[in-house]
Chains A and B, each alone.
Chain A
Amino acid sequence: MTAQRTTPAPKLEPAQDRVMTPLQAGPAAEPFVAGRAGRAARYGAAPSRATARVILVITSVLFLLPIVAMGIFTFRANGGGYTVGHYLDLFNPALEYNYDVLFQGIQNSLILCLITAAIILLLMVPTIVLIEMRYPRLRRIMEFICLVPITIPTIVLVVGLAPTYSVVARFVGSDAWTLAFAIGVIALPYAYRPVAVNIAGVDMRTLTEAARSLGAGYLSIMWRIILPNLRRGIIAAAFITITVVLGEFTIATFLGRTTFQTGLLQVESGDPYVAVIFALLALLFGFVILLIIGRVGSIRPKNKD
């Protein structure tokens, strides 16, 4: 008992730091196993495995129900009964014009994914790295800028984006890709966190100083020291950005551009089955992406105490 007490408990980051981002891409905390001591000697917070399983199974069933309902819905025939016809409709050239808006939306959203990811990777990440290495005093400001979009509702921001975009349109036109600037802002909090967590786990200063004393130049340090060490955070940031772009609806609706989500809603009024097929696929795609982020993030950095 005494020996156990003196073991340092897993060190957690300050709660407010972790909680600000709903998406947890950072390294997970140590497992809490006090409750596993055995039936008679259970103490502490954790429930028994049986209780835990019951709760988790009920939850899973409740949360899977609408997803399963979506799946069943896609096979429902219009007059009753079941059919695979709705899946075949997708490849029916005669019906193609019905789905044009959706395909256009998907195309726009994919372009937006690329540009928004570029904004995050080429604008946000280098700025974070630069501030970390040269101007640590700006770190607080950078954190504030990156986290503040979570406290300003998108619906509020978009009221001000409308006049902003009427100016933007004068310089770069009003194509859908321009939405990337606004969506990049919405993605900042989610993309910032994994990169910041990654940087906190790596001693950048010592590494760069070591590299410099060995004669490495600026580019060499960037390419061979910083990027490899931040790989995990950067990958997570890129993937999260993709999910933000694909899920974004508010900005596109307000500014009247066609994206995946607005296309879905438009198609839904005419052909709900096809809309649900795409929504289901997108949900599964999002789940897989976030699963990858979770696996990437859960590998603990070696030099974290």
Chain B
Amino acid sequence: MTSLAQSRGAGVTPRRRGARIGVGWIGVVPFGVYALLFLAIPAVLAVASGFFTQNGTFTLANFDTFADPTTQKDIIGSIGLSAVTAIAGAIAGAIICYALLPMRADGLVRTVVDAASSVFAQFGGVMLAFAFIATMGNTGLLGLIINGLFGDNTYTSPLYTVPGLVPVYLFFQIPLMVLTFMPAMEALKPAWGEAVATLGGTRLTYWWRVGIPVLAPAFFGCAILLFANSFSSFATAAALISQGGLISLDIFRASTSETVIGHANEAGSLALAMVVVMIVLMTAYGALQRRAAKWANR
């Protein structure tokens, strides 16, 4: 909405070439209309629908869902899963970034790691779930090996529960950490290492007094990004778990079960809760990122 208003405003400002006034701003309009129709309106509708009944009258009844023990359990489940995979993913990802430091930025290793990380971090979803069904599912490789060693039916797959999602989620959390934390790692200046060495410090001194303090804001910022990523992800969980247990699965169930009267708009109130969490997370992320940028620009 702002984009439209602003683009009109800009079109009126006098420019050096009079002939081009008035034509140029029309070029900005199609994209503005597109963003309005498919980004702004759906975002507003999603959050606002929580305040209305299906007939369109204002209500707060949709928020009763937060008193439902199942919803509470699922929100805690989402937060727990996100926290565990964010912390573990951030630590593992940071170690991988550390190992990538001696590799040339435009070399083969870095290019392959970048591409693989993008595949796992973004492209994965359902296909990642399949990979884990083949690995840890009831008839997967792990079950085959364990049953072969200890006799038939000793293996029961942990994959189809919320805790079972932890290894699967780590498969997109760790790569996302590698992609987002690597720039911060690369911003460590060689001069700082030289300075520590000249002053007689060891590498331990370097990490304790320079490396860790400089990287801390970026590290926690990326960990928050990972939390948000896990909290809002849907595809992998939907492919593995059918009975719910996460807030994203609840949104799907609420919005598709239009046969159950009066529940469809609960998706709106759940979406609102999710947006509130995301706003808090992204504000914290932005603040930490600004702090991290302090060193990157010197």
Q: Which A residues have a C-beta under 8 Å from some C-beta of B?
A: 1, 4-5, 9, 12, 14-16, 18-19, 22-24, 28-36, 41-49, 51-53, 55-56, 59, 63, 65-67, 69-70, 72-73, 76, 119, 123-124, 126-127, 130-131, 134-135, 137-138, 141-142, 145, 148-149, 151-164, 181-182, 184-185, 188, 190, 243-244, 246-247, 249-250, 253-254, 261, 264-265, 268, 272, 275-276, 279-280, 282-283, 286-287, 290-291, 293-295, 298
Contact = CB atoms under 8 A, between A and B. Distances in A.
Contacts of B218: 15, 19
B37 A164 contact: yes
Contacts of A73: 134, 140-141
B267 A159 contact: yes
22 contacts: A4-B194, A14-B296, A15-B187, A24-B118, A31-B104, A53-B99, A55-B99, A69-B135, A72-B141, A127-B30, A127-B31, A135-B25, A141-B3, A141-B6, A155-B234, A155-B251, A163-B45, A164-B45, A246-B123, A253-B252, A254-B252, A261-B125
B114 A43 contact: no
Contacts of B73: none
B189 interface: yes
Contacts of A76: 139
Nearest to B30: A123
Given A152-B275, A159-B251, A30 B105 contact: yes
B101 interface: yes
A79 B235 CA distance: 30
Interface string B230-241: 011011001100
Given A14-B297, A163-B45, A244-B122, 9 more contacts: A1-B194, A12-B183, A12-B296, A45-B101, A138-B6, A153-B232, A160-B42, A182-B38, A243-B118
B149 to A, nearest CB: 16
Given A28-B105, A134-B24, A184-B38, A249 B31 contact: no
Contacts of B46: 156-161
B188 A32 contact: yes
B115 A287 contact: yes
Given A119-B34, A151-B278, A159-B46, A135 B24 contact: yes
Q: Which 8 A-B pairs have the closest CB atoms?
A: A44-B193, A153-B232, A160-B42, A160-B46, A160-B45, A55-B99, A43-B197, A66-B131
Given A45-B193, A69-B140, A149-B39, A1 B101 contact: no
Contacts of B49: 159-160, 163
Interface string B112-151: 1111101111111111101111110001110000000000
A249 B104 CA distance: 35
A39 to B, nearest CB: 13
A127 B3 CA distance: 12
Given A12-B186, A159-B255, A290-B115, A249 B44 contact: no
Contact of B296 (A15, A33, A291, A293): A15
A19 B42 contact: no
B184 interface: yes
A76 B143 CA distance: 14
Which of A12, A42, A293: most chain B CB closer than 10 A? A12
Contact of A59 (B96, B110, B126, B222): B96
A191 to B, nearest CB: 12
Contacts of A41: 197
B134 A253 contact: no
Contacts of B20: 134
B166 interface: no
A148 B286 CA distance: 13
B190 interface: yes
Nearest to B258: A162
A237 to B, nearest CB: 14
Nearest to A54: B99
A142 B132 CA distance: 39
Contacts of B125: 247, 249, 261
Given A160-B49, A264-B127, A295-B111, A155 B274 contact: yes
Contacts of B105: 28-32, 298
A145 B98 contact: no
B96 A55 contact: yes
Contact of A16 (B27, B197, B289): B289
A137 to B, nearest CB: 6
B126 A264 contact: yes
